[in-house]
Structure 1
Amino acid sequence: MRLGVDVMGGDHAPDEILKGCVRALSALDPGDELVLIGDEASARDFMLEAGVRDDRLRFVHTTQSIEMAESPVEAVRTKTDSSIVRMARLGAYRHRQEPLACDAVLSAGNTGACVSAATLHMRRLPGVHRPGITVTIPTFNGPVVLCDAGANPEPRPAHLWQYGIMAEVVSRIVHGRQSPRVAVMNIGAEEAKGTDLIQGTAALIRATPGIRYVGYIEGRDLFEGVADVVVTDGLVGNTLLKMAEGLARSLISGISAEVLAADPDLMLRLEPIFREMFRKNDYHEHGGAPLLGVGGVCMIAHGSSNARSISAALREARAIVKAGINDALVARIAELTPQAPDEARRA
């Protein structure tokens, strides 16, 4: 399997990205390859200084990079030799004949640019309206799969209907849920609440046989085991995800500090528990999230990703390829679309 990495994207690029690639090499199969996409001289120098000489490394030189603050669409249009654009081309199913074509690609760079480049060069899978970022949120009641987490901040009900299908497929295949419970994020559980977008989305999901719709879900119930799949727009989803990351980190750190101040001996006994709780809720541990709906496997990592994040994201990318998520997604959309209201077919 060949995995491509945008080494120029992210707050700590290229060093942390390259360190993550080095970590990943030890976990990959002997036949796997890593394609480092970006400034080739810098990447080669880093590997040389790190003492890494591995035949599984490949290099694709680019002369441009897209910064975090740049306009995504404009940057993708004008910077055709940027690491993000070249990454998207290498990861596209339709470019499988290109030298160093990749089975999956990864970037911690400008999320909007990643989405734009992937949509443009990978194109959309058959039947897909808009790609969505699907994230798995760990809870004490099991994993919750949320879509969208930032790809589409202004969707239509038909887009969100498909995001429910995307997240449902991940819940089934990755997490083993036989019949995932699907909920729509709202400001209340009452049927009359919510915007036209939310009401329209719920109506589509409710009217589609084969989807186990359980109603609306409020933010406070996300961690209570109410649903396995949560559907929301990219703005709310991204905000919710980052708030959850910060809250988990703050709570665990705060409780640890209080216990330490009250009873240092007790803290010594509880330290392994706190450490494991922190690990499970640390976004670096989960690496990246797949941009589902495009013709290729494209992983989007947190902008502040470190070496551990990148290594974890590459493992996840490999697992998604092996699981055949995209084939399952196309099949599920083809199965459910004829059963859904006409509105579900309006992109």
Structure 2
Amino acid sequence: MKIAVDAMGGDNAPEAIVSGVMLAKKDFPELEFQLYGKEAEIKKYVTDESNITVIHTDEKVDSEDEPVRAIRRKKQASMVLAAQAVKKGEADACFSAGNTGALLAAGLFIVGRIKGIERPGLMSTLPVIGENRGFDMLDLGANAENKAEHLLKYGILGSFYAANVRKVENPRVGLLNNGTEESKGSEVTKKAFELLTNEASINFVGNIESRDILNGVADVVVTDGFTGNAVLKSIEGTALNITKLLKQSILDEGVKGKLGALLLKNALGGLKNEMDYSKYGGAVLFGVKSPVIKTHGATEPEAVAATIRQIHTMLETKVVEKLTEQFERDDAAN
């Protein structure tokens, strides 16, 4: 298994990216890594050269670059070369912490869509409160607008991923809406509700509300890209602000507060870990011909290692190959 890594993507690159690769190598010594970027900078953090190939390039996609223009004009950028390696069959998956829009463009225009999937979705696994499991949510921003037919495909894609990668038996698929009643929502969500209800290949459980998604009401949550991205950032912001609020409340209580925090240290650490969705890996552009994975720009080595663990599972389970075969069969049948 070979993973093409954009070693220059992200706020803390290449240190965090390469250090994360080194962590992952301890668990998966059989993996091979192709690191694209400035060779001298990358090699500062390579502590084990086995199964590591560094491909030098001075060019990279910057965070402020316009995504499609960057992919088309920066032919030697580390992200572009990593995606090209996947397209050519020189690598099995592409990973970056860089410009999200550019990686989505690279996935769509370089790696390419699976036949029968018009709009691949960006999907992450998010935590379920109080339980050692998560749920998959898509689209998280690959598409600002979606048709009902796209939401149907997201239900199929998410269910396929949950069953094959996370090993969830008969995954429950929910449609994010502004109410649980069938009559609620826009014309798009009403039509999507009808399509999802009539789709025999998935276990559709109906409409769900955003206040309930962290409570485990569904194993897969389907929504359009604009709403999904807004919900994801709301969850991130709420988690960060609750942590800040707890810290400030402790400081405001002086010595008593600090003593209480000391007694609650393990519990507070458990809370932080429970809300940390980076432990599930990165966001998958699901619906393209090979795994294309994005992790947070401010990622740390541990999160990089978790994302590589996720990629390893995707490759080991051959989830993309199985998905391609299913959609090819469906296309032939139609």
Equivalent residue number for residue 83 of structure 1? 78
- Given residue 212 of structure 1, which amino acid in structure 2 is its aligned partner? N
Segments of structure 2 that go 5 or more residues without pairing to the other structure are none
1:223 matches 2:214: yes
Q: C-alpha offsets along residues 173-194 of structure 1, whole Å, 9 cap, x if unaligned?
A: 2333221111111122222222
Segments of structure 1 that go 5 or more residues without pairing to the other structure are 340-344
Structure 1: 4+ residue segments shifted above 3 A: 252-269, 331-339
1:186 matches 2:181: no
1:7 matches 2:10: no
Equivalent residue number for residue 59 of structure 1? 54
Secondary structure of the 1:183 match is strand
Equivalent residue number for residue 127 of structure 2? 138
Q: C-alpha offsets along residues 182-232 of structure 1, whole Å, 9 cap, x if unaligned?
A: 111112222222222222222211121232212111110112222111101
Q: C-alpha offsets along residues 74-131 of structure 1, whole Å, 9 cap, x if unaligned?
A: 1111111111111111123xx22xxxx1122210111111111111121112322221
- The normalised TM-score by structure 2 is 0.90
Equivalent residue number for residue 148 of structure 2? 157
Equivalent residue number for residue 342 of structure 1? none
1:26 matches 2:26: yes
Cα deviation, residue 305, structure 1: 1.1
- The correspondence for 2:288, drawn from 286, 294, 297, is 294
Secondary structure of the 2:27 match is coil
Paired with 2:136 and 2:238, the residues of 1 have a C-alpha distance of: 18
- The normalised TM-score by structure 1 is 0.87
Equivalent residue number for residue 315 of structure 1? 309
Paired with 1:185 and 1:335, the residues of 2 have a C-alpha distance of: 29
Equivalent residue number for residue 106 of structure 1? 95
1:251 matches 2:251: no
Paired with 2:257 and 2:48, the residues of 1 have a C-alpha distance of: 49
- Superposition RMSD in Å: 2.3
The count of residues paired between Structure 1 and Structure 2 equals: 329
Cα deviation, residue 295, structure 1: 1.0
Cα deviation, residue 266, structure 1: 4.5
- Given residue 299 of structure 2, which amino acid in structure 1 is its aligned partner? S
Identity of counterpart residues, as a percentage? 32
1:270-285 maps to which residues of 2 (within 5 A)? 270-285=264-279
